[in-house]
Each structure stands twice: as C-alpha cells, then as structure tokens.
Amino acid sequence: MLGFDFEEERIKQEITKLGAKRVLLQMPEGLKPEAPKLAKIVEKSGAVAIISADPCYGACDIAVNEAEGLGVDLIVHFGHARMVKHEQVPTIYVEARATVTVDKAVEQSLPLLINYSKIGLATSVQHLQTLNQAREILTRTGKTVIIGDAGQMSYPGQVSGCNYSNVKSIANEVEAFLFVGGGMFHALGIALSTSKPTIIADPYDNRAYSIGAEAQKILKQRFASIQEAKTAKKFGIFVGLKPGQKHLGNALHMKELAEKNGKAAYLLTAREITPETLLEFPSIDAYVNTACPRISLDASGKFQKPVLTVNEFMVVCGESSWENMLKKGLFEN
C-alpha cells in the first residue's frame, strides 16, 4: 500500500497464531482510507474484520470497550507505538512506517538552521527509520546533532502528541530542533515544550519551515485563558474515559485544590471533550482537562469557556507561575 508499511504478513501471522475469529481494526484519520484493503487481508486470513470508524488520536485511545462489546479476539492498532502497558484484549501495534524519503526536505531546512550549530533531532513513529539519514545530512554541514532518549518513549528521538520527554531531555544542549515529518502538530509540541526554535522538514511536500509564529500565537491564547479562568467561580474537572487518559487521582486533586481556593468544582467524565459537550453545562465558568492535554491547546479557539491543562490550573490557583509552567511544560498532566 502506497506510502506506509502496514505489515500485512505480520497481521496474518498474528491472526493465525491466536486463532482469532473476529478482528477490530483501529487507526487515525489519515490512515482510514486504507481500512477496506486491510479488512480484506484479515478476511483472507479466516477472520471477520470490523473497522472502527470512531476518531483515534493516539495509542492512549485503544478501542478496548468496543472490542469487548463486539466479542473481538484481536485489536490491530495502526499508526502508533505501544503506550498502554496491559491491554484487556490482545492487541498488536502496526506503526505504519512511512516509505517516503526525507533527504530533500532535510536539505531544504539547512538555510533555516544556518545560525544554529547544535541541533536536536526528533520525529513521530512514522519516520523514525529516517533519523540516521537526517543526522548524516546535518553532520555533513558541520552541525552537532543530538537525539534525545529519556526512556519514556518506545524509541530515541520519538515524540507523540502528549509526550515530549525526549526533546526536553536535551533542550539545554541544543540551540534549535528539527522535526522530520508532516504537519505542525508534533512540531508545535516540541516548540511549546522546549521554548526552542523549531523547524519542520516535511517529506510529503518536500519543504521546510519554521513554526515559531504559530507557537507564539498559542502561548498568547493560553495566557489569555488562564487570565479569564482566574475570575471563574465554578470549575468542571474532566476525567477522560479512554484507556491511556484516565487520571481520576489527578482530577480529585484538582477538585480539592479548587475548593481550597474557594471555587466550586464538579467532576465530569467524557470520551470526547468537545465544544458541544461544554454547552450542556451553562452554569460552569471554566474547565480543567486531566485527559489529553492537547485538547486544551489545539482546540482553544473553539471553546467558548477556558479549558485549562493541569499545569495551567496550578497557575490559576497560585501554585505555580507562568514562567515555571513554561519550564515544566504544558503537556504533563
């Protein structure tokens, strides 16, 4: 299949090994167009294929409840590396490594990195196999290249939507970061987590560009949300229901902190935290999101009321400062 390695032989082998009769296929939006072809492969292996049409944002979002309700023997999760340690339903992770080359995109980044000699290199799981080639290109131009390995991710240099430990571990050793991959999603996370200049080398468009202006725009939005939330009297504390996003203990702590500061606080649960969800609670003034922190950051302009990360709520309550929050990072819940 064009563009990605879906490890079809491995899927067949796992189905045979488990004797699976019913298989659930789960993948993020960009890979869903390939789902019918992958379902055919499953069916040729003697199992019934069921495609999850729900949104899937990461390995934290394994469709365990759906699988159990449907009597599924195996989940095949595409596009992410393992995050949940113990799945209740047998699960294999197909990382869907990209087959595009990155040479031209990395070369396009060189003029943007001309003023920096120490470069941190990072990517998503789809492009991990290209990091050595990217490092060679940068090294040939005299750059010192560092790839972080904080031990929290499956691979050195890997970042995910909510975990930037690898880049944070080397932030003090580099002057700028180069992210190899498509789109601004992960690169913005790097910029916001490290406060370092971040350049994208996009192998799909064969171009490179800085996301500094976009990162500053988001920081201004977050500061405004914090300031608005300081006047709120009633807070909703969201607890995520997805397997890798359930942080009830954290939510209870946030409720206690709110009440300690004279605020009313209510625990809310949801699988999907959307602007429409919030409209159902008109008496609540602001929210704290203990599920995926990217919800607060990436959709901030869509919510009519402030939706804060845990670290942002600590600023509201006087437990931290804006400066300390930026050092700690917006993503850690």
The model's pLDDT over 113-160, given as tens digits with 9 standing for 90+, comes to: 999 999 999 999 999 999 999 999 999 999 999 999 998 899 999 999
As assigned by CATH, the class of the 217-328 domain is alpha beta
d(CA 153, CA 168): 12
What is the pLDDT confidence band of residue 162, given thresholds at 50, 70 and 90? confident
CATH class of the domain whose range is 4-96: alpha beta
Give residue 331's pLDDT band: very low, low, confident or very high (50, 70, 90).
Answer: low
Domain with CATH 3.40.50.11840 in the chain: 4-96
Q: Say which CATH class 103-210 falls into.
A: alpha beta
| Enclosing H/E stretch for 234 | strand 234-240
Domain ranges in the chain with CATH number 3.40.50.11850: 103-210
Q: Looking at residue 82, what is its pLDDT? A: 86
Give the up-direction half-sphere exposure of residue 192: CA atoms within 13 A in the CB hemisphere.
30
What token pair was written down for 282?
């008109």
Among 265, 294, 267, residue whose Cα is nearest residue 61: 294
Task: Report the C-alpha gap between 331 and 222 in whole angstroms.
Answer: 12
- pTM beyond 0.95, yes or no: no
pLDDT at position 180 over 90 = yes
One-letter amino acid identity for 318?
Answer: G
- Residue intervals of the chain classified under CATH 3.40.50.11860 are 217-328
